[in-house]
Structure 1
Amino acid sequence: MPQELEQPESKFTQVLDAAAKLPGVRINRAAYLRAAFKRHCTEEQIERAIAATPAAAGIPLAILTEVANTSIAFETSKVTGISTVAGIPGGIAMIGTVPADMAQYIGHMLRIAQKLAYVYGWPDLFADDGDDLDEATEGILILFVGVMVGVQFAQGGVSKVSAMIASQVVKKLPEQALTKGAIYPVVKKVAGFLGVSMTKKLFASGIAKAIPVIGALVSGGFTLATFLPMSKRLQRHLASLELTKPGHRGDEAPFIDTEVITLDAVEDPAGVGTR
Protein backbone atom coordinates (compact mmCIF):
# COMPACT_ATOMS: atom_id res chain seq x y z
CA MET A 1 0.00 0.00 0.00
CA PRO A 2 1.39 3.44 -0.87
CA GLN A 3 2.73 5.46 2.02
CA GLU A 4 0.23 8.28 1.52
CA LEU A 5 -2.63 5.83 2.11
CA GLU A 6 -0.99 4.32 5.18
CA GLN A 7 -0.32 7.61 6.94
CA PRO A 8 -3.86 8.69 7.93
CA GLU A 9 -4.65 5.18 9.19
CA SER A 10 -1.44 5.10 11.21
CA LYS A 11 -2.17 8.51 12.72
CA PHE A 12 -5.51 7.42 14.07
CA THR A 13 -4.39 4.05 15.41
CA GLN A 14 -1.53 5.76 17.26
CA VAL A 15 -3.94 8.17 18.97
CA LEU A 16 -6.37 5.33 19.69
CA ASP A 17 -3.66 3.21 21.28
CA ALA A 18 -2.44 6.17 23.36
CA ALA A 19 -6.00 7.00 24.47
CA ALA A 20 -6.63 3.39 25.51
CA LYS A 21 -3.64 3.60 27.88
CA LEU A 22 -4.90 6.69 29.71
CA PRO A 23 -5.99 6.10 33.32
CA GLY A 24 -9.67 5.26 33.64
CA VAL A 25 -10.33 4.65 29.95
CA ARG A 26 -10.73 0.88 30.17
CA ILE A 27 -14.06 -0.10 31.67
CA ASN A 28 -14.37 -3.27 33.74
CA ARG A 29 -17.41 -4.93 32.17
CA ALA A 30 -18.60 -6.85 35.24
CA ALA A 31 -18.16 -3.90 37.62
CA TYR A 32 -19.90 -1.52 35.23
CA LEU A 33 -22.90 -3.77 34.61
CA ARG A 34 -23.25 -4.46 38.33
CA ALA A 35 -23.25 -0.74 39.18
CA ALA A 36 -25.36 0.35 36.20
CA PHE A 37 -28.21 -2.11 36.79
CA LYS A 38 -28.16 -2.11 40.58
CA ARG A 39 -31.21 0.19 40.87
CA HIS A 40 -33.19 -1.60 38.19
CA CYS A 41 -32.64 -5.35 38.51
CA THR A 42 -32.40 -8.23 40.93
CA GLU A 43 -29.02 -9.63 41.89
CA GLU A 44 -29.85 -12.77 39.93
CA GLN A 45 -30.58 -10.76 36.78
CA ILE A 46 -27.37 -8.79 37.15
CA GLU A 47 -25.25 -11.92 37.55
CA ARG A 48 -26.91 -13.45 34.50
CA ALA A 49 -26.30 -10.24 32.55
CA ILE A 50 -22.61 -10.43 33.45
CA ALA A 51 -22.33 -14.14 32.62
CA ALA A 52 -24.23 -13.76 29.34
CA THR A 53 -25.81 -10.45 28.27
CA PRO A 54 -28.39 -8.02 29.70
CA ALA A 55 -30.80 -9.17 26.97
CA ALA A 56 -30.34 -12.82 27.94
CA ALA A 57 -31.03 -11.82 31.56
CA GLY A 58 -34.48 -10.62 30.48
CA ILE A 59 -33.80 -6.94 31.16
CA PRO A 60 -36.35 -4.87 29.16
CA LEU A 61 -35.14 -2.58 26.41
CA ALA A 62 -36.63 0.41 28.22
CA ILE A 63 -34.22 -0.21 31.12
CA LEU A 64 -31.29 -0.72 28.77
CA THR A 65 -32.12 2.65 27.23
CA GLU A 66 -32.32 4.37 30.61
CA VAL A 67 -28.97 2.95 31.70
CA ALA A 68 -27.37 3.91 28.38
CA ASN A 69 -28.78 7.44 28.58
CA THR A 70 -27.43 7.87 32.11
CA SER A 71 -23.96 6.79 31.00
CA ILE A 72 -24.07 9.12 28.00
CA ALA A 73 -25.06 12.06 30.21
CA PHE A 74 -22.24 11.29 32.65
CA GLU A 75 -19.54 10.92 29.99
CA THR A 76 -20.73 14.03 28.11
CA SER A 77 -20.50 16.13 31.28
CA LYS A 78 -17.08 14.73 32.10
CA VAL A 79 -15.49 15.16 28.67
CA THR A 80 -16.87 18.69 28.28
CA GLY A 81 -15.22 19.77 31.52
CA ILE A 82 -11.89 18.24 30.57
CA SER A 83 -11.94 19.79 27.10
CA THR A 84 -12.68 23.25 28.49
CA VAL A 85 -9.75 23.04 30.91
CA ALA A 86 -7.47 21.80 28.12
CA GLY A 87 -8.50 24.79 25.99
CA ILE A 88 -7.21 27.41 28.41
CA PRO A 89 -3.46 27.47 27.50
CA GLY A 90 -2.73 29.86 24.62
CA GLY A 91 0.03 30.74 22.22
CA ILE A 92 2.95 28.35 22.08
CA ALA A 93 1.45 26.09 24.76
CA MET A 94 -1.12 24.87 22.25
CA ILE A 95 1.55 22.70 20.61
CA GLY A 96 1.57 20.51 23.71
CA THR A 97 -2.10 20.69 24.65
CA VAL A 98 -3.73 19.86 21.32
CA PRO A 99 -2.49 16.23 21.14
CA ALA A 100 -3.29 15.72 24.84
CA ASP A 101 -6.78 17.12 24.36
CA MET A 102 -7.33 14.84 21.39
CA ALA A 103 -6.15 11.78 23.31
CA GLN A 104 -8.48 12.66 26.20
CA TYR A 105 -11.36 13.20 23.81
CA ILE A 106 -10.79 9.85 22.09
CA GLY A 107 -10.39 8.30 25.55
CA HIS A 108 -13.89 9.42 26.51
CA MET A 109 -15.21 8.15 23.20
CA LEU A 110 -13.73 4.78 24.09
CA ARG A 111 -15.28 4.92 27.56
CA ILE A 112 -18.80 5.53 26.30
CA ALA A 113 -18.34 3.05 23.45
CA GLN A 114 -17.45 0.33 25.98
CA LYS A 115 -20.35 1.20 28.27
CA LEU A 116 -22.88 1.18 25.43
CA ALA A 117 -21.45 -2.04 24.05
CA TYR A 118 -21.80 -3.77 27.42
CA VAL A 119 -25.36 -2.53 27.90
CA TYR A 120 -26.31 -3.84 24.47
CA GLY A 121 -24.82 -7.30 24.83
CA TRP A 122 -21.20 -7.16 23.69
CA PRO A 123 -18.46 -9.22 25.37
CA ASP A 124 -15.55 -7.81 27.37
CA LEU A 125 -13.41 -5.74 25.00
CA PHE A 126 -10.39 -5.65 27.32
CA ALA A 127 -10.24 -9.22 28.56
CA ASP A 128 -6.47 -9.04 28.13
CA ASP A 129 -4.93 -7.02 30.98
CA GLY A 130 -1.87 -6.02 28.92
CA ASP A 131 -1.12 -2.39 28.19
CA ASP A 132 -1.17 -2.83 24.43
CA LEU A 133 -4.43 -3.27 22.53
CA ASP A 134 -4.85 -6.63 20.85
CA GLU A 135 -5.73 -6.38 17.18
CA ALA A 136 -9.35 -7.53 17.53
CA THR A 137 -10.10 -4.98 20.25
CA GLU A 138 -8.38 -2.24 18.28
CA GLY A 139 -10.44 -3.20 15.24
CA ILE A 140 -13.83 -3.06 16.94
CA LEU A 141 -12.97 0.21 18.73
CA ILE A 142 -12.05 1.74 15.36
CA LEU A 143 -15.44 0.64 14.01
CA PHE A 144 -17.26 2.03 17.07
CA VAL A 145 -15.56 5.41 16.69
CA GLY A 146 -16.38 5.29 12.99
CA VAL A 147 -20.07 4.82 13.80
CA MET A 148 -19.90 7.71 16.25
CA VAL A 149 -18.57 10.14 13.65
CA GLY A 150 -21.06 8.96 11.03
CA VAL A 151 -18.99 6.70 8.79
CA GLN A 152 -21.67 4.60 7.11
CA PHE A 153 -19.50 1.64 6.18
CA ALA A 154 -18.40 1.41 9.84
CA GLN A 155 -22.03 0.67 10.73
CA GLY A 156 -21.99 -2.27 8.33
CA GLY A 157 -18.80 -3.59 9.95
CA VAL A 158 -20.25 -3.37 13.46
CA SER A 159 -23.46 -5.07 12.30
CA LYS A 160 -21.49 -7.99 10.85
CA VAL A 161 -19.41 -8.41 14.01
CA SER A 162 -22.58 -8.31 16.13
CA ALA A 163 -24.14 -11.07 14.02
CA MET A 164 -21.00 -13.18 14.40
CA ILE A 165 -20.97 -12.77 18.18
CA ALA A 166 -24.69 -13.57 18.40
CA SER A 167 -24.10 -16.87 16.61
CA GLN A 168 -21.16 -17.95 18.79
CA VAL A 169 -21.47 -20.31 21.75
CA VAL A 170 -18.41 -18.71 23.38
CA LYS A 171 -19.01 -14.97 23.66
CA LYS A 172 -15.94 -13.17 22.40
CA LEU A 173 -14.83 -10.92 19.57
CA PRO A 174 -14.37 -12.74 16.23
CA GLU A 175 -10.61 -12.22 16.14
CA GLN A 176 -10.03 -13.82 12.75
CA ALA A 177 -12.64 -11.67 10.98
CA LEU A 178 -11.41 -8.45 12.59
CA THR A 179 -7.71 -9.00 11.98
CA LYS A 180 -7.45 -11.01 8.76
CA GLY A 181 -10.90 -11.86 7.46
CA ALA A 182 -14.03 -10.22 6.09
CA ILE A 183 -14.18 -7.26 8.50
CA TYR A 184 -10.48 -6.34 8.34
CA PRO A 185 -10.65 -4.30 5.09
CA VAL A 186 -13.51 -2.27 6.58
CA VAL A 187 -11.46 -1.60 9.73
CA LYS A 188 -8.52 -0.38 7.64
CA LYS A 189 -10.75 1.86 5.55
CA VAL A 190 -12.43 3.40 8.61
CA ALA A 191 -9.06 3.99 10.29
CA GLY A 192 -7.81 5.83 7.21
CA PHE A 193 -10.93 7.99 7.08
CA LEU A 194 -10.64 8.82 10.79
CA GLY A 195 -6.96 9.70 10.39
CA VAL A 196 -7.82 12.37 7.81
CA SER A 197 -10.75 13.67 9.89
CA MET A 198 -8.59 13.80 13.01
CA THR A 199 -5.99 15.98 11.28
CA LYS A 200 -8.68 18.48 10.25
CA LYS A 201 -10.14 18.55 13.78
CA LEU A 202 -6.71 19.13 15.32
CA PHE A 203 -6.17 22.09 13.00
CA ALA A 204 -9.52 23.67 13.89
CA SER A 205 -8.99 22.99 17.60
CA GLY A 206 -5.50 24.51 17.48
CA ILE A 207 -6.85 27.78 16.09
CA ALA A 208 -9.34 28.03 18.96
CA LYS A 209 -6.66 27.31 21.58
CA ALA A 210 -4.44 30.14 20.29
CA ILE A 211 -6.88 32.56 21.98
CA PRO A 212 -6.79 31.58 25.68
CA VAL A 213 -10.19 32.39 27.25
CA ILE A 214 -12.24 32.30 24.06
CA GLY A 215 -10.41 29.11 23.18
CA ALA A 216 -11.61 27.44 26.36
CA LEU A 217 -15.22 28.35 25.60
CA VAL A 218 -14.97 27.21 21.99
CA SER A 219 -13.29 23.97 23.00
CA GLY A 220 -15.90 23.11 25.63
CA GLY A 221 -18.80 24.14 23.41
CA PHE A 222 -17.44 22.19 20.47
CA THR A 223 -17.06 19.10 22.64
CA LEU A 224 -20.63 19.36 23.95
CA ALA A 225 -21.98 19.88 20.44
CA THR A 226 -20.16 16.81 19.07
CA PHE A 227 -19.81 14.25 21.86
CA LEU A 228 -23.51 13.96 22.76
CA PRO A 229 -24.85 13.37 19.22
CA MET A 230 -21.98 11.00 18.45
CA SER A 231 -22.77 8.95 21.55
CA LYS A 232 -26.46 8.87 20.64
CA ARG A 233 -25.58 7.73 17.11
CA LEU A 234 -23.66 4.74 18.47
CA GLN A 235 -26.44 4.01 20.96
CA ARG A 236 -29.07 3.91 18.23
CA HIS A 237 -26.98 1.58 16.11
CA LEU A 238 -26.06 -0.84 18.91
CA ALA A 239 -29.68 -0.93 20.12
CA SER A 240 -30.79 -2.06 16.65
CA LEU A 241 -28.40 -5.00 16.33
CA GLU A 242 -28.79 -8.76 16.60
CA LEU A 243 -27.50 -8.93 20.18
CA THR A 244 -30.56 -7.05 21.47
CA LYS A 245 -33.16 -8.98 19.45
CA PRO A 246 -35.87 -10.95 21.29
CA GLY A 247 -34.27 -14.23 20.18
CA HIS A 248 -31.27 -13.42 22.38
CA ARG A 249 -33.36 -12.75 25.49
CA GLY A 250 -34.65 -14.94 28.25
CA ASP A 251 -37.92 -16.73 27.35
CA GLU A 252 -39.57 -15.50 30.52
CA ALA A 253 -39.07 -11.79 29.79
CA PRO A 254 -41.95 -9.67 28.47
CA PHE A 255 -41.02 -7.83 25.28
CA ILE A 256 -44.32 -6.47 23.94
CA ASP A 257 -43.99 -2.85 22.84
CA THR A 258 -40.50 -2.41 24.37
CA GLU A 259 -39.02 -1.86 20.89
CA VAL A 260 -41.25 1.20 20.40
CA ILE A 261 -40.38 2.56 23.84
CA THR A 262 -36.66 2.16 23.16
CA LEU A 263 -36.68 3.92 19.81
CA ASP A 264 -38.67 6.85 21.19
CA ALA A 265 -36.32 7.19 24.15
CA VAL A 266 -33.18 7.00 22.03
CA GLU A 267 -34.40 9.58 19.55
CA ASP A 268 -35.32 12.12 22.23
CA PRO A 269 -32.17 14.05 23.30
CA ALA A 270 -34.13 15.74 26.09
CA GLY A 271 -34.56 12.40 27.77
CA VAL A 272 -30.85 11.81 28.29
CA GLY A 273 -30.22 10.82 31.87
CA THR A 274 -33.55 12.18 33.09
CA ARG A 275 -35.70 9.07 33.15
Structure 2
Amino acid sequence: MVATRDIAHSGSTFSDLLDVAAQLPAVRINRAAYLRSALKRHCSEEQIEQAIATTPAAAGIPLTTITDVANTSIAYETSKVTGISTVAGIPGGLAMLGTVPADMAQYVGHMLRIAQKLAYVYSWPDLFAGDGDDLDEATEGILTLFVGVMVGVQFAQSGVSRVSAMIAAQVVRKLPQQALTKGAIYPIVKKVTGLLGVQMTKKLFASGVAKAIPVIGAVLSGGLTLGTFLPMSKKLQKHLASLELTKPGHRAGEDELVEVVAQNPGASEEPSEARAEQ
Protein backbone atom coordinates (compact mmCIF):
# COMPACT_ATOMS: atom_id res chain seq x y z
CA MET A 1 0.00 0.00 0.00
CA VAL A 2 1.23 3.49 -0.80
CA ALA A 3 1.18 5.65 2.30
CA THR A 4 -0.58 9.00 2.20
CA ARG A 5 2.62 10.78 3.15
CA ASP A 6 4.38 9.20 0.14
CA ILE A 7 1.58 10.15 -2.24
CA ALA A 8 1.54 13.67 -0.84
CA HIS A 9 5.25 14.18 -1.57
CA SER A 10 5.90 17.86 -2.16
CA GLY A 11 6.79 17.24 -5.82
CA SER A 12 3.59 15.38 -6.59
CA THR A 13 1.53 18.20 -8.03
CA PHE A 14 -1.31 17.22 -10.29
CA SER A 15 0.50 18.67 -13.31
CA ASP A 16 3.47 16.39 -12.59
CA LEU A 17 1.15 13.43 -12.22
CA LEU A 18 -0.74 14.19 -15.42
CA ASP A 19 2.46 14.60 -17.41
CA VAL A 20 3.89 11.30 -16.15
CA ALA A 21 0.61 9.45 -16.72
CA ALA A 22 0.36 10.79 -20.27
CA GLN A 23 3.80 9.33 -21.04
CA LEU A 24 2.90 5.82 -19.94
CA PRO A 25 2.93 3.24 -22.75
CA ALA A 26 -0.42 2.99 -24.58
CA VAL A 27 -2.03 5.85 -22.65
CA ARG A 28 -2.28 8.16 -25.65
CA ILE A 29 -5.08 7.09 -27.98
CA ASN A 30 -4.70 7.64 -31.72
CA ARG A 31 -7.98 9.33 -32.64
CA ALA A 32 -8.19 8.08 -36.22
CA ALA A 33 -7.23 4.51 -35.32
CA TYR A 34 -9.67 4.41 -32.44
CA LEU A 35 -12.63 5.76 -34.41
CA ARG A 36 -11.89 3.43 -37.31
CA SER A 37 -11.73 0.43 -34.98
CA ALA A 38 -14.69 1.39 -32.80
CA LEU A 39 -17.04 2.27 -35.65
CA LYS A 40 -16.17 -0.40 -38.21
CA ARG A 41 -18.92 -2.80 -37.12
CA HIS A 42 -21.53 -0.05 -37.04
CA CYS A 43 -20.87 2.24 -40.01
CA SER A 44 -19.88 2.24 -43.65
CA GLU A 45 -16.27 2.93 -44.60
CA GLU A 46 -17.30 6.25 -46.12
CA GLN A 47 -19.06 7.30 -42.94
CA ILE A 48 -16.09 6.28 -40.82
CA GLU A 49 -13.69 8.32 -42.94
CA GLN A 50 -16.03 11.29 -42.68
CA ALA A 51 -16.16 10.89 -38.90
CA ILE A 52 -12.36 10.91 -38.78
CA ALA A 53 -12.04 13.89 -41.10
CA THR A 54 -14.74 15.85 -39.26
CA THR A 55 -16.57 14.37 -36.26
CA PRO A 56 -18.89 11.41 -35.64
CA ALA A 57 -21.77 13.89 -35.19
CA ALA A 58 -21.01 15.65 -38.47
CA ALA A 59 -20.81 12.26 -40.19
CA GLY A 60 -24.43 11.60 -39.16
CA ILE A 61 -23.66 8.65 -36.90
CA PRO A 62 -26.76 7.99 -34.76
CA LEU A 63 -26.58 8.87 -31.09
CA THR A 64 -27.69 5.32 -30.31
CA THR A 65 -24.57 4.04 -32.08
CA ILE A 66 -22.38 6.59 -30.31
CA THR A 67 -23.79 5.48 -26.97
CA ASP A 68 -23.24 1.82 -27.82
CA VAL A 69 -19.63 2.46 -28.84
CA ALA A 70 -19.00 4.53 -25.71
CA ASN A 71 -20.47 1.82 -23.47
CA THR A 72 -18.36 -0.84 -25.13
CA SER A 73 -15.22 1.25 -24.74
CA ILE A 74 -16.00 1.82 -21.07
CA ALA A 75 -16.53 -1.91 -20.54
CA TYR A 76 -13.27 -2.69 -22.34
CA GLU A 77 -11.23 -0.14 -20.39
CA THR A 78 -12.85 -1.15 -17.11
CA SER A 79 -11.75 -4.73 -17.68
CA LYS A 80 -8.21 -3.47 -18.30
CA VAL A 81 -7.92 -1.66 -14.99
CA THR A 82 -8.64 -4.61 -12.74
CA GLY A 83 -4.90 -4.71 -12.20
CA ILE A 84 -2.29 -1.98 -12.29
CA SER A 85 1.03 -2.72 -13.96
CA THR A 86 4.38 -1.19 -13.16
CA VAL A 87 5.70 1.99 -14.71
CA ALA A 88 8.98 0.67 -16.02
CA GLY A 89 8.07 1.94 -19.46
CA ILE A 90 7.81 5.59 -18.43
CA PRO A 91 10.40 7.75 -20.25
CA GLY A 92 13.01 8.60 -17.63
CA GLY A 93 12.59 5.29 -15.88
CA LEU A 94 12.15 4.76 -12.17
CA ALA A 95 13.74 8.12 -11.34
CA MET A 96 10.34 9.71 -11.84
CA LEU A 97 8.87 7.63 -9.02
CA GLY A 98 10.54 9.95 -6.53
CA THR A 99 7.79 12.47 -7.21
CA VAL A 100 4.96 10.39 -8.70
CA PRO A 101 3.98 7.05 -7.10
CA ALA A 102 3.70 4.22 -9.59
CA ASP A 103 0.17 3.13 -8.80
CA MET A 104 -1.19 6.65 -8.90
CA ALA A 105 0.43 7.28 -12.30
CA GLN A 106 -1.15 4.09 -13.63
CA TYR A 107 -4.51 5.01 -12.12
CA VAL A 108 -4.55 8.40 -13.83
CA GLY A 109 -3.20 6.82 -17.03
CA HIS A 110 -6.27 4.60 -17.24
CA MET A 111 -8.48 7.60 -16.62
CA LEU A 112 -6.80 9.43 -19.50
CA ARG A 113 -7.34 6.49 -21.85
CA ILE A 114 -11.09 6.35 -21.36
CA ALA A 115 -11.36 10.15 -21.31
CA GLN A 116 -9.79 10.30 -24.78
CA LYS A 117 -11.98 7.55 -26.19
CA LEU A 118 -15.14 9.15 -24.87
CA ALA A 119 -14.05 12.56 -26.13
CA TYR A 120 -13.39 11.26 -29.64
CA VAL A 121 -16.62 9.33 -30.01
CA TYR A 122 -18.54 12.34 -28.68
CA SER A 123 -17.02 14.54 -31.40
CA TRP A 124 -14.10 16.25 -29.68
CA PRO A 125 -10.98 17.06 -31.73
CA ASP A 126 -7.61 15.32 -31.41
CA LEU A 127 -6.22 16.00 -27.94
CA PHE A 128 -2.65 15.00 -28.81
CA ALA A 129 -2.12 16.67 -32.15
CA GLY A 130 1.61 17.18 -31.63
CA ASP A 131 4.35 14.57 -31.85
CA GLY A 132 6.28 15.61 -28.75
CA ASP A 133 6.28 13.68 -25.48
CA ASP A 134 5.38 16.71 -23.39
CA LEU A 135 1.79 17.86 -23.00
CA ASP A 136 1.01 21.25 -24.44
CA GLU A 137 -0.85 23.60 -22.13
CA ALA A 138 -4.22 23.33 -23.87
CA THR A 139 -4.18 19.52 -23.80
CA GLU A 140 -3.11 19.53 -20.16
CA GLY A 141 -5.95 21.92 -19.43
CA ILE A 142 -8.72 19.90 -21.02
CA LEU A 143 -7.47 16.61 -19.58
CA THR A 144 -7.41 18.23 -16.15
CA LEU A 145 -11.04 19.24 -16.62
CA PHE A 146 -11.98 15.74 -17.81
CA VAL A 147 -10.40 14.18 -14.72
CA GLY A 148 -12.18 16.76 -12.60
CA VAL A 149 -15.52 15.72 -14.09
CA MET A 150 -14.73 12.05 -13.46
CA VAL A 151 -14.05 12.59 -9.78
CA GLY A 152 -17.01 14.88 -9.26
CA VAL A 153 -15.60 18.42 -9.30
CA GLN A 154 -18.67 20.47 -10.22
CA PHE A 155 -16.94 23.48 -11.73
CA ALA A 156 -14.89 21.15 -13.95
CA GLN A 157 -18.17 20.33 -15.69
CA SER A 158 -18.67 24.04 -16.34
CA GLY A 159 -15.21 24.29 -17.88
CA VAL A 160 -15.76 21.32 -20.19
CA SER A 161 -19.15 22.68 -21.23
CA ARG A 162 -17.66 26.06 -22.13
CA VAL A 163 -14.83 24.54 -24.15
CA SER A 164 -17.32 22.36 -26.01
CA ALA A 165 -19.47 25.39 -26.83
CA MET A 166 -16.43 27.24 -28.18
CA ILE A 167 -15.46 24.35 -30.45
CA ALA A 168 -19.05 23.98 -31.68
CA ALA A 169 -19.55 27.70 -32.28
CA GLN A 170 -16.30 28.09 -34.21
CA VAL A 171 -16.75 24.80 -36.11
CA VAL A 172 -13.08 24.00 -35.57
CA ARG A 173 -11.28 20.71 -35.15
CA LYS A 174 -8.83 21.78 -32.49
CA LEU A 175 -8.86 22.88 -28.87
CA PRO A 176 -9.27 26.60 -28.15
CA GLN A 177 -5.65 27.16 -27.14
CA GLN A 178 -5.91 30.69 -25.82
CA ALA A 179 -9.07 30.12 -23.80
CA LEU A 180 -7.49 27.12 -22.07
CA THR A 181 -4.10 28.70 -21.44
CA LYS A 182 -4.74 32.41 -20.91
CA GLY A 183 -8.39 33.21 -21.50
CA ALA A 184 -11.83 32.51 -20.08
CA ILE A 185 -11.32 28.82 -19.22
CA TYR A 186 -7.87 29.18 -17.69
CA PRO A 187 -9.06 30.25 -14.21
CA ILE A 188 -11.31 27.17 -14.07
CA VAL A 189 -8.41 24.93 -15.10
CA LYS A 190 -6.24 26.47 -12.38
CA LYS A 191 -8.92 25.89 -9.76
CA VAL A 192 -9.37 22.26 -10.78
CA THR A 193 -5.60 21.76 -10.92
CA GLY A 194 -5.26 23.14 -7.42
CA LEU A 195 -7.93 20.79 -6.10
CA LEU A 196 -6.39 17.80 -7.86
CA GLY A 197 -2.86 18.65 -6.69
CA VAL A 198 -1.28 17.83 -3.38
CA GLN A 199 -4.65 18.09 -1.64
CA MET A 200 -6.06 15.49 -4.04
CA THR A 201 -3.98 12.79 -2.43
CA LYS A 202 -5.01 13.77 1.06
CA LYS A 203 -8.65 14.65 0.54
CA LEU A 204 -10.00 13.78 -2.90
CA PHE A 205 -8.57 10.30 -3.38
CA ALA A 206 -8.41 9.45 0.30
CA SER A 207 -11.94 10.60 1.10
CA GLY A 208 -13.82 12.07 -1.86
CA VAL A 209 -13.40 9.20 -4.32
CA ALA A 210 -13.49 6.59 -1.57
CA LYS A 211 -16.83 7.91 -0.35
CA ALA A 212 -18.32 8.29 -3.80
CA ILE A 213 -17.06 4.95 -5.08
CA PRO A 214 -16.61 2.47 -2.21
CA VAL A 215 -13.51 0.33 -2.52
CA ILE A 216 -12.28 -2.29 -0.10
CA GLY A 217 -9.09 -0.87 1.32
CA ALA A 218 -7.14 2.03 -0.15
CA VAL A 219 -8.04 3.29 -3.61
CA LEU A 220 -4.44 3.07 -4.74
CA SER A 221 -3.41 -0.27 -3.27
CA GLY A 222 -2.04 -1.93 -6.40
CA GLY A 223 -5.35 -2.80 -8.06
CA LEU A 224 -8.65 -1.32 -9.15
CA THR A 225 -11.98 -3.10 -8.97
CA LEU A 226 -14.65 -2.88 -11.62
CA GLY A 227 -16.73 -0.79 -9.24
CA THR A 228 -14.05 1.90 -9.01
CA PHE A 229 -13.53 2.77 -12.65
CA LEU A 230 -17.00 2.29 -14.10
CA PRO A 231 -18.88 5.03 -12.18
CA MET A 232 -16.23 7.65 -12.97
CA SER A 233 -16.27 6.76 -16.66
CA LYS A 234 -20.05 6.89 -16.75
CA LYS A 235 -19.98 10.31 -15.10
CA LEU A 236 -17.78 11.70 -17.87
CA GLN A 237 -19.81 9.94 -20.55
CA LYS A 238 -23.04 11.45 -19.28
CA HIS A 239 -21.58 14.94 -19.28
CA LEU A 240 -19.98 14.68 -22.73
CA ALA A 241 -23.19 13.29 -24.21
CA SER A 242 -25.08 16.38 -23.02
CA LEU A 243 -22.81 18.94 -24.67
CA GLU A 244 -23.23 21.21 -27.67
CA LEU A 245 -21.01 19.08 -29.90
CA THR A 246 -23.64 16.31 -29.89
CA LYS A 247 -26.65 18.57 -30.48
CA PRO A 248 -28.90 18.12 -33.55
CA GLY A 249 -27.37 21.17 -35.25
CA HIS A 250 -24.10 19.30 -35.46
CA ARG A 251 -25.65 16.07 -36.73
CA ALA A 252 -27.21 14.77 -39.92
CA GLY A 253 -30.96 14.82 -40.52
CA GLU A 254 -33.22 12.33 -38.77
CA ASP A 255 -34.01 10.43 -41.98
CA GLU A 256 -30.32 9.82 -42.60
CA LEU A 257 -29.87 8.55 -39.05
CA VAL A 258 -32.71 6.07 -39.44
CA GLU A 259 -31.18 4.82 -42.68
CA VAL A 260 -27.78 4.31 -41.05
CA VAL A 261 -29.34 2.37 -38.18
CA ALA A 262 -31.18 0.12 -40.62
CA GLN A 263 -28.02 -0.57 -42.64
CA ASN A 264 -25.75 -1.12 -39.63
CA PRO A 265 -27.35 -3.18 -36.86
CA GLY A 266 -25.48 -3.07 -33.54
CA ALA A 267 -22.49 -5.30 -32.99
CA SER A 268 -19.84 -5.64 -30.33
CA GLU A 269 -16.77 -3.42 -30.60
CA GLU A 270 -14.74 -5.62 -28.30
CA PRO A 271 -12.81 -7.59 -30.95
CA SER A 272 -11.81 -4.48 -32.92
CA GLU A 273 -10.93 -2.66 -29.69
CA ALA A 274 -8.69 -5.52 -28.70
CA ARG A 275 -6.94 -5.41 -32.07
CA ALA A 276 -6.43 -1.68 -31.73
CA GLU A 277 -4.54 -2.28 -28.47
CA GLN A 278 -1.94 -4.45 -30.18
CA distance in 2, matches of 1:142, 1:235: 16
Query: Which residue of the other structure, out of 189, 192, 204, is the alignment partner of 1:190?
Result: 192
Question: Runs (4+) of structure 1 moved beyond 3 Å?
Answer: 7-10, 199-204, 214-220
1:170 positional shift: 2.8
Alpha carbon RMSD of aligned pairs, Å? 3.0
- Give runs of aligned pairs for residues 132-147 of structure 1, distance below 5 A: 132-147=134-149
The match for 2:151 is: 149
Q: Which has the higher helix share?
A: 1
Give the TM-score taking structure 2 as reference length: 0.76
Deviations 1:42-94 (A, max 9, x none): 001100100111111111111101100111111111111227x89xxxxxxxx
Q: Tell me by how many angstroms 1:226 deviates.
A: 2.2
Aligned length: 233
Structure 2 regions of 5+ residues with no counterpart? 1-8, 88-96, 208-216, 262-269, 271-278
Q: CA deviation at 1:168?
A: 1.6
Alignment gaps of 5+ in structure 1: 1-6, 87-94, 205-213, 259-272
AA aligned opposite 1:106: V
Q: What is the CA-CA distance between 1:219 and the residue it aligns to?
A: 4.9
Measure the CA separation in 2 of the matches of 1:17 and 1:236: 26
Mapping for residues 261-272 of structure 1, pairs under 5 Å? none
> How is 1:39-188 mapped onto 2 (pairs within 5 angstroms)?
39-82=41-84, 99-188=101-190
Q: 1:253 and 2:256 equivalent?
A: yes
Encode CA deviations 1:224-266: one digit per residue, 9 max, x unaligned.
Answer: 32211000000000000000001001235337xx9xxxxxxxx
Q: What residue identity is the alignment partner of 1:39?
A: R
Residue in 2 that maps onto 1:267: none
**Counterparts in 2 of 1:245 and 1:201: CA distance versus 1, 3 Å:** closer
Query: What secondary structure does 1:130 align onto?
Result: coil
CA distance in 2, matches of 1:150, 1:8: 24
Q: Deviations over 1:161-196 (max 9, x none)?
A: 000000123311000000000000000100111121
